[in-house]
A and B are shown apart, each in its own frame.
Chain A
Amino acid sequence: MARVDIIMPQLGESIAEGTVVKWLKKPGDKVGKDESVLEITTDKVDSEIPSPSAGILVEIVAPEGTTVGIGKPLGILETDATAAAGAAKSAPAPEAAKAPEAAKASPDVKTPVTAGDSVLPGAGAPMAAPAPPPEPAVVAHASGGNGGGNGGSDRFYSPLVKRIAREEGIALSELDRLAGTGQGGRVTKDDLLGYMEQRKAGGVAMPQAQPGGMPMMMPGQMPAGMPMMPMMPQFSPMPQFMPMPGMGAQAGPPATPPAYKIAREPGAAETRIPWDNIRKKIAAHMVMSKSTSPHVTSCAEVDVTTIVSFRETYKDVFQQSQGFKLTYTPFFLHAVTKAIQDFPGVNAIVDGETTVIKHAINLGMAVAMDDGGLIVPVLKHAEDKNFVGLARNADDLGRRAKSKKLVPDDISGGTFTITNPGVFGGLWGTPIINQPQVAIFGMGTINKRVAVINNMIAIRDMIYVTLSYDHRVVDGALSHLFLARVKWYLENFNPMGQIPGVI
């Protein structure tokens, strides 16, 4: 036995209710399927209501004269199970009420803030319902031009500036202390980025033109490459080693890469690692090189601000148009090649008591492998290649070196070697010559440092470069002249024509 409701139907799109006019049956009466049970009236029609099933009318819920909303019960039937089987099944024609969970993706859900990433509909779905708005915390707080939630600050910060500040752990109170170069003194993205660089170096907060696009002419400023006007510090420099709250200060130093971990037997005083073939080769070469060539190392300091700025500006376009990443390497390959052409004496090998000056410039590039090993692929005939060509070759060799796809020809025939202790954070190095060559060039890290230009303080991107040379055949004068020439080419890097189709 099952109970089935007789409900008020919706007779017309705009109809919301109906009124019971007359019951044709009374409780206890038998009713056949589709037999008329009552009469109703609406604004549009009068109608008889047929019974949904065969059974007995057990209850009148809406007596004559009552007005009932659509979908609400008018009366109740008791039916036998079989008759009720189909009709008893849930709802009348589909209600919109059943919105499933997926459609409800509530905008109140606080999604975790991810650096820079918004949730976008997939490229293939034209105008599909967008995902919930990202970073609602910011949206919810945005109000007026002041951007609410400022913790009491009256200053306007753009959504971008606030996000960067939040991600970098810079408190709004700190932002408040910055001078802004934007309209009305507002702090722009560039202002904030500039401040962050200073803070990293422990220096003074000063607005400056950032690498990353043509600087905009602001009153009181001069274009990049020109010295900055000196500014009084806004506040005392932070002590170097006090970790800033929220600055990403972790509980300790970064993790050790796996290649440098040493396995220990419990309780052992030492771990013995027999040399494998590669280690034996390296050891032999290092001893041989040092005992063959009297090593001396010269050093030069180079201002690479122009190069850093160029790279920032064009790295995306470069990636797009050339298909691979633009690193600093090709700039140095380019400068070194030109300097070698001016001072070929460093591009030589020793054969007995003869110095053999090589005319081909085959640059070996030391590559550190992930497993802790070292390999030196050779970029042949650098003198024949333009900037993009050098970059492409270097990228290709580096990639193949890391994936162990070099062939013997790739690692032979070098005439000069370049190494990069800077990639591990080294300020500068005194590398060992790659025999039978007579010189090896090393590059340190690029750091922002205070420099003096025209008797004024400037913030510049600086790097130390070194040349270890075989003092049997290369004198100090040659090495310093060579380094000075490399420095000249780097500092006077001319971007015009370097990336065809772009600049």
Chain B
Amino acid sequence: MTDKKRNGGTATKAAPGKNGAGAATTRPATSYGTPLPGPVIEPPKRELLPGGVALIRDDDGNVIGPWPDGASPPKLSRELAKAWSKDQLLAVHRFMRMSREIENKVINLYRQGKISGGVYLGRGNEATAVAALYCLESTDPVTILHRDLGAHLVRGWTAREIFMQYFAKRDAPNFGKDTGLHLGSLERFSLGTVSPLGCMIPVTLGCAVGLKMQGKKAVGLTFTGDGATSLGDFHEALNFAGVWKAPFILIVENNQFAYSTPTGKQFACARISDRAAGYGMPGTTVDGTDVLKILNAVKTAVDRARKGDGPTLIESVTMRMRGHSEHDDASYVPKGMADAWAAWDPINRFEEYLMSERILDQVALDRMLAELSTEIEEAVDWAFAQPPNEGPEAAEGVYA
């Protein structure tokens, strides 16, 4: 019997119960000297790119990203688009664009000294963020991270609320007490995320479990970066989810770098989704710049979970198009890598598809951009004019 061929690695398993026929008794050379007794399964081999970044292949073995030598992205698949109506595709597109335009504005505001502290953007991640939330019900509990602004927009947060957050106003969703995209609301089933990434995975799992205890058919979903997959909470939570067969989805946004640490230094397995087997759940790796592929992957996982078939680990591969934060010049990213990835911009790829299928034209796009611009300018002015905090408010709200 042979294992399913994956990523170029092969292994032969000794067939039990048969006398010699078909059973392979020669053991392949291993990378660790003396062969171990018992069946040996070689882990899939890993490939590294310049800068120490791990080369990731999707489930069909195709390389994700502009490798080698700036390869262009494939066109989006009409097959995958069939699952969605035109209106749904346009809605997804609008969310993605809105997210991009808001963040462009945030960059300017930050450089004008109107936003204090740090700013962390998600350019390049719009497809994953929007697609993930688009597949959920509004009562499915989620924790959305700082590079998933589009997800917040899908969940119903407005531009005004987003800018109140950035301006740290008294009536912002975080009352001026927490930063940027840490907003949360129980009515929206959206938890305020924390700075130690990965730590909200067990919490979001807990939400799914708690609602299941109340007889609800909710699915919990959260994101994590490639870096936080090294954290204990990632492993503890996935293990719990697998053992309990919980209705839970974890999307790992593998954008190649955790601050300055490339994925090659972050984990030793070939793909993050390879870990899923260790926790007793299916794992899949998709091109995160292809919104249709992400939509498909999340939809499948949501259906699974809602049916009661348990959790899924999804690895979505993208590129972090700006520094870790706006005060990081990202000089550790190899020359040309960011430019090569620019061709895989999820918004450009999607707009190209929509235009080619005549679902969108330039006139409609220009009109939409103008509307978004007006909405954003209004939201900025409105939010900026809101009252700031008074000092003593710092002591309020510590306890429920």
Contacts and interface: CB of A to CB of B under 8 A. Distances in A.
Given A99-B391, A103-B392, A9 B112 contact: yes
A85 B385 CA distance: 10
A8 B114 CA distance: 10
B381 interface: yes
23 contacts: A6-B112, A7-B112, A10-B113, A11-B111, A12-B118, A34-B108, A42-B327, A44-B328, A48-B111, A49-B112, A52-B112, A70-B113, A85-B381, A89-B384, A93-B114, A93-B167, A94-B116, A94-B168, A94-B176, A100-B391, A100-B392, A126-B398, A126-B399
Contacts of A87: 384
B342 interface: no
B242 to A, nearest CB: 38
Contacts of B326: 11, 45
B165 to A, nearest CB: 11
Interface string A81-94: 00001110101111
B354 to A, nearest CB: 27
Nearest to A86: B381
Interface string A1-35: 00000111111110100000000000000000010
A333 to B, nearest CB: 51
Nearest to A46: B329
A71 interface: yes
A98 interface: yes
Interface in A39-70: 42, 44-52, 70
Contacts of B323: 45
B22 interface: no
A11 B389 CA distance: 22
Given A11-B327, A91-B388, 19 more contacts: A7-B113, A9-B110, A9-B111, A12-B118, A42-B327, A44-B329, A45-B327, A45-B329, A49-B111, A50-B111, A50-B112, A86-B385, A92-B113, A92-B114, A93-B113, A93-B168, A94-B168, A126-B398, A128-B395
A120 interface: no
A226 interface: no
B37 interface: no
Contacts of A94: 116, 168, 176, 388-389
Contacts of B327: 11-13, 15, 42, 44-45
For the side of the interface on A, what is the size category?
35 or more
A98 B110 CA distance: 21
A129 interface: yes
A123 interface: no
Interface of A: 6-13, 15, 34, 42, 44-52, 70-71, 85-87, 89, 91-94, 96, 98-100, 102-103, 126, 128-129
Nearest 9 interchain pairs by C-beta: A12-B327, A93-B116, A9-B113, A86-B381, A11-B327, A50-B108, A45-B329, A7-B113, A52-B112
Contacts of B112: 6-7, 9, 49-52, 92
Contacts of A12: 118, 325, 327-328
A11 B110 CA distance: 8
Contacts of B395: 128-129
A94 B380 CA distance: 16
A96 B32 CA distance: 59
Q: Chain A CB within 10 Å — which of B111, B325, B384, B395 has the most?
A: B111
Interface residues of B, number: 32
A102 B329 CA distance: 42
Contacts of A8: 113
A52 B114 contact: yes
Contact of B391 (A45, A92, A93, A103): A103
B63 interface: no
Interface string B80-110: 0000000000000000000000000100101
B171 to A, nearest CB: 13
Contacts of B392: 100, 102-103
Given A34-B108, A45-B329, A126-B399, A98 B113 contact: no
Contacts of A85: 381
Nearest to A35: B108
A492 B325 CA distance: 85
Nearest to A97: B391
B390 interface: yes
Nearest to B388: A94
Interface string B157-175: 0000000000110000000
B234 to A, nearest CB: 26
A129 B115 CA distance: 29
B117 interface: yes
A413 to B, nearest CB: 59
A395 to B, nearest CB: 41
A426 to B, nearest CB: 56
A85 B328 CA distance: 32
B336 to A, nearest CB: 19
Nearest to A72: B113
B116 A92 contact: yes
A13 B118 contact: yes
Contacts of A47: 111
B45 to A, nearest CB: 37
Nearest to A40: B111
Contacts of A50: 108, 111-112
Interface string B35-59: 0000000000000000000000000
Contacts of B389: 94
Contacts of A7: 112-113
Contacts of B168: 93-94
B177 to A, nearest CB: 11
A11 B323 CA distance: 12
A21 to B, nearest CB: 14
Contacts of A99: 391
B298 to A, nearest CB: 34
Interface string B368-393: 00000000000011001100111110
A172 B58 CA distance: 88
Q: Chain B CB within 10 Å — which of A8, A9, A12, A89 has the most?
A: A9
A52 B113 CA distance: 9
Contacts of A13: 117-118, 327
B274 to A, nearest CB: 35
A91 B115 CA distance: 11
B160 to A, nearest CB: 13
Nearest to B113: A9
